[in-house]
Structure 1
Amino acid sequence: MSVLWSNVSASATRVMMDQMTTSSLPRPICYHESELEEEDPGYDRVLVQNIVGVVVPIFFGLIGILGLVGNSLVVIVVAANPGMRSTTNILIINLAIADLLFVLFCIPFTATDFVLPYWPFGNVWCKVVQYLIIVTACASVYTLVLMSLDRYLAVVHPIASMSVRTESHAFTAIWIVWIVILTSSIPALIIHGEYGEIRALNQSFPCALHSRDQSGSETETEALEIQTACRILPDANRPLFQVTFFLASYVVPLTLICGLYVCMLLRLWKGVRVSAESRRGRKRVTRLVLVVVGVFAICWCPIQVILVVKSLDMYPLSSGTIMLQIASHVLAYTNSCVNPILYAFLSDNFRKAFRKIIYCRSRQDQHNRLGPMTKTTRAASSGDIL
C-alpha cells in the first residue's frame, strides 16, 4: 500500500513461485531468490525477512489493540459523562473516531501487506482501503486544526467566541471537515489498484519447472515470477500524488496550527485580563492540545519524508534504510494509540473516568459527574472543561 507506506518487501523484488496443487501445473524443482536480482551489498535479506515476518506483526498487533481499546474508552468516557461535554471534548471524540477507523482500516492490511508477498484482498478492496486510509489520516490532522482553532478563539477572543464555540457549531465544523475530505480524496480510488506482473525468469534464473504431460512424460517449462501489490498504478503520477499528500496532510495543517499558536502567544504576551481560575483552565486545555499536536508532528514526520523521497526514486535499498522505513511506519501508527495515554496523564477528569471504567465501580459512581461542578461550571460554559 503506497500512500501511507510503500511495502518494504516490495522495495526488493518479491517472488512467489506458482505452487498450486493442480496436477497439470508445473512444480518448482529449484528456487534461489538471491539469484533473481542484483542487490545492494548492504542488504541482508534474512535480517529483513525476520523483521518483516516477526517484529512488524508484533508491533502492529500491539498498536492495534491499544488503539482500539484506548480510543473506544475515550468515546465512552465523554459520551457517558454530561459534565465533560465541551467543544474541545467533542473534537477529541472525533479525533478518537478517526484514530479508530485508521486502526481498523490500516493496521491489519498493512501488516498483511508486509508479511505476504502479494495482495490477497482483490482490486476493489485495494482501492477502498487506500481511500479510507487517506480519509482517516486527513480527518485526524484536520481535527487537530479545529482543536487549535478552538484554543485560539478561547484564548484570543474569550468573550466574543462564547457564542461561536458551541456544541452545535462544533458538530457542524466536524461534518464540513469530513465531507470535504471524503470528496477531495476520491482521486485515491482512481489511481490505486491491485497491480501484478507475470514474467519468465529463465534469463536471470537458470532453473526450470518440472511437470508431466498427459502421456506421463516429464517436460520442462520456464519458471514464472508473480508479483502483486496494492499500490499507485504505473500510469499515475506517483511523485505528484505523494508530494500533494505530504503537503495536504502534513505541511499545510501544521502550518495553520503553528500560525494559530503564534497568535495565541502574542496575545498572551500582551496580557489578557481573566480570572486566575479561568486562566488555569485554559492553560491546561491549551497545553493538552499542544502536546497532542506535537506528538502527531513527531510521529508522522519521518514516514512522510521517506515516502516523498521514495516517490522520487531517491531512496536506496539496504538493510539500514529498510529498517528505518519499518521504524518510521511503527512510529507513525503509534500515534493512533498514544492520544488516550496523553489524556490520562494530562487531564484529571479523563484519568478519573478511565479509572471508573477500568475498575468497574458501582453504577451510582459511574453516573456521578466528574469533579465538583461548582468549580467547572464556568469552564464548561466556555468549552474549557476536560
Structure 2
Amino acid sequence: MATLSSDTSPTASSAATNSGCNLTGSCGNDAAVQTIGMIHNTPEAFVVPIVFALIFIVGVVGNGLLIFIVLHNKNMRNVPNVFIVSLALGDLLLILISVPFTATIYTFTEWPYGEVMCKIIEFLQALSLGVSVFTLTMLSYDRYIAIVDPMKRHRTSSMAVTIGCAIAVWIVSTVLAVLELFGAHIRVRIYNGVELQICEVYPLSWGTWYEKFHVLFRFLVYFAIPVVIIGVFYVLMARILITSSRKMPGASEGRIAQQIKQMEARKKVARVVLSFVIVFCLCWFPRHVYLLWYYFDPADYNMFWHIFKIFGFCMMFINSCVNPLTLYFLSKQFRKYYNRYLLCCCPGSRSRQSEYSTMYNFNSTDRRSSTNMTVMATQTKC
C-alpha cells in the first residue's frame, strides 16, 4: 500500500488533490500518484528540506544556547528572561522532534512514520504555538506593568510567581493541544486506483462543521485575540510614555536623570518583546490566511495558493528559530554571551579581560536606579 503525507495542517484532501500542482506550473490530480514510493521531482521537494535543515541548525543552536545562558548566569535570571526561556523551550521541543519529520512532507510521496508520529507532530505544533502566543501575551503584560505601575510590579512580581505563570501557560497550551492528539489519524484514500495513507487532522466522525470551527478557533485563540490584547498593552504603554515625558515630577536633577534611565531600560525590554510579537505575526499570518481561505472560500487551487501554502508552512516553523536571532541583534547583554560561548575557541577570547558593561540588561527593570548601571568583570573561558 502506498502512502502520501500532507503538510499536516491543511489536511489530507488538500495534500492529495493539490500535490499535483507543482512549482513548475504543471497541475493535475494524477501527478500526486505518479511517483508513489519515490521522491517528487518538483522544486519544493528539494527546497523545503534545505529550509528545514537551516531551521534545525539555527533553532537548536540558538534556542539551546539561549536556555543555557539564562540558567548558567545568575544575573540573567529575572522575570522577562524566565518567559523567554519558556518560549525557547517550546521552540526547541518542536524543532528537535517535529522538524526532522515534517521536512520530508513535500519530498516523499509516502508517510512512513505511522499514526503515532502523525499525532505527535500535530500535538507539538499546537503546543508550541500555544506556548509562543500565550507567553508573548504574558511578556507584554509584564512590560505594561513595569512601565505603567512599576511599584505594583515590585510588590507582586517574584521568581516563584513568574515560574508559576510560565507553568500555567504550558498547562493551558497542553490542554488545548490534546485535541490535536485525539484528532490526528491516518486515513486511507484512493486516487487513480492507488491507496494512499494520509496524516489527517479531522476525523470523519466529527463532522465537516468541525473543520471550519477548528480553523476559526485557532485563528481567534492563537492569533487574533492575543494580538489585539498585546496591541492594547502597547497602546497604553505608549500613552504613558508620552504623558510622562511631558510632565516629570518635581525632583532634583539627579532624581530626574535616574527616572529617565529607569524608563529607558524598561523601554528597551519593551522593544525586544514587541519585536518578538511582530516576528510572530509575520511568521504565522500567512498560514492562517491560507487555512481560512481553504476552508471558508473553496475556490480553485492554483499555482498562487500552492506557493503561498508552502511559504506559510515554512514560515510557521521559521518562527521557532528567529527569537534568538532577534535577541542577538537587539540585546547587547545577550549578544555578549552569545559571542562568548559561540566564539570561545577564538585565540583572542582565551585571554583574561575585564569588561565594564554600561548597557542595561533585563535585570535593570527589576532593580532600583542605583543598580541599573551594572559593572561586570568577566573572564572568558571555553
Contact kept? 2:358, 2:373, Cα under 8 Å: no
Partner of 1:246: 219
Distance between the aligned counterparts of 1:56 and 1:312, measured in 2?
Answer: 27
1:118 paired residue among 104, 110, 114: 110
Partner of 1:348: 332
Partner of 2:288: 304
Structure 1 residue 164 and structure 2 residue 156: aligned?
Answer: yes
Contact kept? 2:7, 2:105, Cα under 8 Å: no
Report % sequence identity.
28
2:319 paired residue among 324, 335, 344: 335
Distance between the aligned counterparts of 1:350 and 1:299, measured in 2?
Answer: 23
1:227 paired residue among 175, 193, 196: 196
Give, in angstroms, the shift of residue 82 of structure 1. 1.2
Q: Gaps spanning 5+ residues in structure 2: where? A: 1-5, 21-25, 33-39, 249-255, 375-382
Q: Which residue type is aligned with residue 173 of structure 1?
A: C
Secondary structure of 1:50's counterpart equals coil
| Backbone CA RMSD of aligned residues | 3.1
Alignment coverage as a number of residue pairs: 335
Q: More displaced, 98-107 or 142-151?
A: 98-107
Please show how residues 364-375 of structure 1 align to structure 2 within 5 Å.
Answer: 371=357
Contact kept? 1:71, 1:340, Cα under 8 Å: yes
Give, in angstroms, the shift of residue 10 of structure 1. 2.8
Q: Which residue type is aligned with residue 280 of structure 2?
A: F
After superposition, the Cα gap between the structure-2 partners of 1:34 and 1:339, relative to the gap in structure 1 and judged at 3 Å, is closer
Greater RCO, 1 or 2 (C-alpha within 8 Å, sep 6+): 1
- What is the TM-score normalised by the length of structure 2? 0.79
Contact kept? 1:196, 1:226, Cα under 8 Å: yes
* Residues 310-349 of structure 1: per-residue CA shift (max 9 Å, x gap): 1235253222221121122222222111111111111110
Give, in angstroms, the shift of residue 100 of structure 1. 0.8
Partner of 1:207: none
After superposition, the Cα gap between the structure-2 partners of 1:313 and 1:117, relative to the gap in structure 1 and judged at 3 Å, is farther
Please show how residues 193-212 of structure 1 align to structure 2 within 5 Å.
Answer: 193-198=185-190, 201=192
1:288 paired residue among 265, 272, 287: 272
Secondary structure of 1:159's counterpart equals helix
Partner of 1:26: none
Q: Which residue type is aligned with residue 56 of structure 1?
A: V
Q: More displaced, 103-112 or 146-155?
A: 103-112
Secondary structure of 2:188's counterpart equals strand
* Residues 263-298 of structure 1: per-residue CA shift (max 9 Å, x gap): 212222321757121011011111111111111111
Distance between the aligned counterparts of 2:373 and 2:302, measured in 1?
Answer: 50
Secondary structure of 1:120's counterpart equals coil
Secondary structure of 1:290's counterpart equals helix
Secondary structure of 1:113's counterpart equals coil
**Larger fraction in strand:** 1
- What is the TM-score normalised by the length of structure 1? 0.78
Contact kept? 1:118, 1:228, Cα under 8 Å: yes
Partner of 1:89: 81
Contact kept? 2:146, 2:365, Cα under 8 Å: no
Give, in angstroms, the shift of residue 138 of structure 1. 0.9
* Residues 142-195 of structure 1: per-residue CA shift (max 9 Å, x gap): 110111011011001111211222211110001111111211222212221011
Please show how residues 111-190 of structure 1 align to structure 2 within 5 Å.
Answer: 111-190=103-182
Contact kept? 2:140, 2:234, Cα under 8 Å: yes
After superposition, the Cα gap between the structure-2 partners of 1:139 and 1:57, relative to the gap in structure 1 and judged at 3 Å, is same
Q: More displaced, 306-315 or 132-141?
A: 306-315
